[in-house]
């Protein structure tokens, strides 16, 4: 608990308890000087490695001896609270760091020290090597989603804040890393793929109106509109299946080779066939663009990620169609 002075530093008279501003406070009985009792400042650091594991120390001394917590300790006179966090990180865990941002400020009541004000920073490691300092018996990295119970509730709160700040960027990184996989398990743009499936008929009709009116696809005006719409719908369905890993490359090749042979028999030029597929890609992209919300980076990424997947699919489709058309 905070120490209350017995004698006034101004006049030397005894200090007692009085109610001031609605709270009991230490007050000089002679001169009325009020001695305010403030919480002790504590600085803590959240450091993660490239595997999203958080650095924890196991406490060597009481209070909470043997329990895990973030590198943390009392701020000292003459240093900022951020400098205190970096000093404690160096002393307790052996590494140097750079403050990235303020994560959290929280109150905590300790039986030994009384009221504490714990300020936690996100810190990037810049040097040193992890080793336990004087106040730590052990140092280790733990999955930020599955770590040992922490001695201080404020540490848990700061980690929840850290996760909330980074979860979208982590989702983008994870999805981006799967872009080149043959059959990615899950990607952020899958939500837009579901919308494309639901509105495939609408997209196909918009495409049909375009190819029947566009000067680059003049021959398509001679083809039965219902047959064109049906083919467009099949192409969209195939695109969705391919994105979900349900469509083999051989089936894609066969579909577009047959489409090319059929269009050639109908008197469609190669450049018109290529243009029709490009127009379908355009309408697919425009639909996805219209569904995207542009207020958050994760939603922007969803649309851009889908754009790349659309481009890869239609590049293959156009290649197979053009090769079959010319053979």
- In terms of residue numbers, what domain contains 275? 190-326
Count the domains in the chain. 3
Verify that 108 and 132 share a domain, yes or no. yes
Q: Tell which wins on pLDDT, 287 or 163.
A: 163
Token output for 289: 């663009």
Q: Is residue 106 part of a domain?
A: yes
Maximum Cα interatomic distance, the chain, rounded to a whole number of Å:
110
Verify that 109 and 1 share a domain, yes or no. no
pLDDT of residue 41: 97
Report, as residue numbers or ranges, the catalytic residues: 138
Verify that 208 and 313 share a domain, yes or no. yes
pLDDT tens digits for range 108-156: 998 888 899 999 999 999 999 999 998 899 999 999 999 999 999 999 9
Q: Are 84 and 73 in contact (CB under 8 A)?
A: yes
Q: Is residue 174 part of a domain?
A: no
Task: Note the pTM of the prediction, 2 decimals.
Answer: 0.77
Q: Is residue 183 part of a domain?
A: no
Q: H/E element holding 112?
A: none
CATH number at residue 288: 1.10.490.70
Q: Is residue 179 part of a domain?
A: no
Q: Is residue 176 part of a domain?
A: no
Among candidate residues 167, 182, 205, the one where a domain is terminated? 167
Alpha-carbon span 71 to 99, nearest angstrom: 14
Q: Is residue 58 part of a domain?
A: yes
Token output for 63: 């209070």
pLDDT of residue 182: 56
Per-residue b/e over 159-188, b at no fewer than 16 CB within 10 Å?
bebbeeeeeeeebbeebeeeeeeeebeebb
Verify that 196 and 305 share a domain, yes or no. yes
């Amino acid at each position: 608990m905070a120490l209350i002075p017995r004698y006034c530093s101004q006049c030397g008279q005894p200090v007692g308890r009085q109610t001031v501003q609605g709270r009991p406070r230490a007050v000089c009985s002679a001169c009325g000087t009020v001695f305010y009792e403030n919480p002790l400042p504590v600085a803590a650091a959240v450091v993660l490695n490239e595997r999203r594991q958080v650095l924890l120390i196991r406490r060597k001394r009481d209070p909470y001896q043997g329990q895990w917590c973030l590198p943390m300790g009392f701020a000292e006179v003459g240093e900022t609270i951020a400098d205190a966090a970096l000093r404690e990180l160096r002393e307790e865990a052996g590494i140097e760091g750079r403050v990235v941002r303020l994560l959290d400020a929280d109150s905590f009541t300790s039986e030994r020290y009384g009221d504490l004000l714990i300020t936690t920073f996100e810190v990037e490691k810049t040097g040193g090597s992890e080793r336990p300092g004087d106040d730590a018996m052990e140092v280790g990295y733990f999955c930020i989603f599955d770590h040992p119970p922490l001695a201080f509730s404020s540490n848990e709160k700061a980690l929840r804040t850290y996760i909330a700040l980074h979860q979208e960027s982590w989702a983008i990184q994870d999805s981006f890393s799967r872009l080149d996989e043959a059959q990615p398990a899950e990607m952020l743009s899958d939500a837009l793929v579901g919308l494309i499936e639901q509105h495939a008929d609408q997209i196909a009709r918009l495409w049909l109106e375009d190819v029947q009116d566009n000067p680059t696809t003049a021959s398509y005006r001679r083809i039965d509109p219902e047959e064109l719409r049906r083919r467009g719908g099949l192409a969209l369905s195939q695109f969705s299946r391919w994105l979900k890993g349900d469509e083999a490359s051989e089936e894609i090749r066969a579909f577009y080779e047959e489409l090319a042979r059929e269009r050639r028999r109908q008197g469609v030029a190669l450049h018109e066939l290529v243009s029709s597929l490009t127009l379908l890609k355009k309408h697919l992209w425009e639909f996805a663009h219209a569904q995207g919300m542009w207020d958050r980076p994760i939603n922007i990424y969803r649309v851009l990620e889908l754009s790349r997947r659309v481009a890869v699919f239609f590049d293959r489709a156009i290649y197979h169609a053009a090769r079959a058309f010319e053979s």
